[in-house]
């Protein structure tokens, strides 16, 4: 793995997120998009098996964004991976665009699943993992969830199913940035002790710094246990990379002005 390559990818992704958030002239989910950048950069830059010229390749690894509001951290990765074009990316939230505020399944654009209500993605991931096993296929399924999303009972029903069916081709990644739409997660619904909870559901659990590319890469590619699905608990900072957004839940969903954009870009330096 080329750490500098992935780091550069992550820096460009953050700038692109700010660019398109400012130019779309609408509110966007910036906080949760910025917290997951290193996760998707590592996946698309060094881990996932895919063909940008053939997004429907049957042997591709599948990535499901269950925390759909973090979509800017996904679309920017698809752009870096060469799956979508700059022209498509810049249509974000414009009329008749395929790239709206939550992903809508579009395999030619590399979008494997639609997202609306939270808590659905892991169930779809379980289904895809079961199907792959039955077909004797070797591709892997990665599902990215939010920590607040794990309040949903459907997440834990899927977690039970995954261990019951011995889905060692399935990886759940929890973007644990400690916030959700209504505030600090521990105040809304305290799900502390994620590691112990996922272990108790029969998962192989790895806890990492969600902004450390080497730790993420090691978690995604190693620490495998036969017959066990893997949960990667990625400890992140909401709004990562922009000082006035970091751990400021006003930026869960907000409109970026030109003045704020200029300040954020200045902080980032040359990209």
The rounded distance, in Å, linking the Cα atoms of 258 and 215 is 35
Query: pTM of the entire structure?
Result: 0.95
Residue 102, phi then psi, degrees to nearest 5: -130, 145
CB count within 10 Å of CB 199 equals 13
Q: DSSP alpha helices (H): ranges in 140-203?
A: 153-164, 185-188, 194-200
Q: How many domains is the chain partitioned into structurally?
A: 1
The rounded distance, in Å, linking the Cα atoms of 114 and 177 is 23
186-204 pLDDT, tens digit per residue, is 776 887 788 999 999 999 9
Residues in the chain, pLDDT under 50: none
- The structure tokens 């902080």 sit at 267
pLDDT of residue 79: 98
The CATH number of residue 36's host domain is 3.40.50.970
80-133 pLDDT, tens digit per residue, is 999 999 999 999 988 989 998 899 999 999 999 998 788 999 999 999 999 999
Name 117's Cβ contacts closer than 8 Å, sequence gap at least 6.
Answer: none
Candidates 3, 4, 40, 15; CA nearest to 175 is: 40
Task: Residue 141: give the domain boundaries.
Answer: 3-268
Residues 62/141, Cβ–Cβ less than 8 Å:
yes
């Amino acid at each position: 793995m080329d750490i500098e390559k992935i780091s550069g990818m992550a820096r460009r992704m953050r700038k692109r997120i700010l660019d398109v958030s400012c130019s779309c002239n609408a509110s966007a989910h910036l906080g949760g998009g910025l917290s997951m950048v290193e996760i998707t950069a590592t996946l698309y830059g060094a881990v996932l098996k895919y063909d940008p010229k053939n997004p429907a390749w049957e042997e591709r690894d599948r990535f499901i964004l269950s925390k759909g509001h973090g979509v800017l951290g996904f679309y920017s990765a698809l752009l870096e991976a060469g799956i979508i074009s700059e022209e498509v990316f810049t249509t974000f939230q414009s009329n008749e665009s395929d790239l709206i505020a939550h992903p809508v399944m579009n395999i030619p654009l590399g979008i494997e699943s639609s997202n609306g209500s939270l808590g659905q993605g892991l169930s779809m991931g379980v289904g895809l993992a079961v199907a792959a096993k039955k077909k004797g296929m070797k591709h892997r399924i990665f599902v990215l969830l939010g920590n607040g999303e794990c309040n949903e009972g459907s997440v834990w029903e899927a977690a039970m199913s995954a261990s019951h069916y011995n889905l060692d081709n399935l990886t759940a990644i929890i973007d644990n940035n400690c916030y959700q739409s209504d505030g600090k997660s521990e105040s809304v619904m305290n799900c502390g002790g994620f590691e112990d909870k996922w272990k108790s559901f029969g998962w192989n659990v790895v806890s990492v710094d969600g902004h450390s590319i080497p730790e993420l890469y090691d978690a995604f590619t190693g620490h495998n246990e036969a017959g066990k699905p893997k949960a990667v608990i990625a400890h992140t900072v909401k709004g990562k990379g922009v000082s006035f957004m970091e751990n400021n839940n006003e930026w869960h969903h907000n409109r970026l002005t030109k003045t704020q954009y200029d300040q954020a870009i200045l902080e980032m330096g040359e990209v």
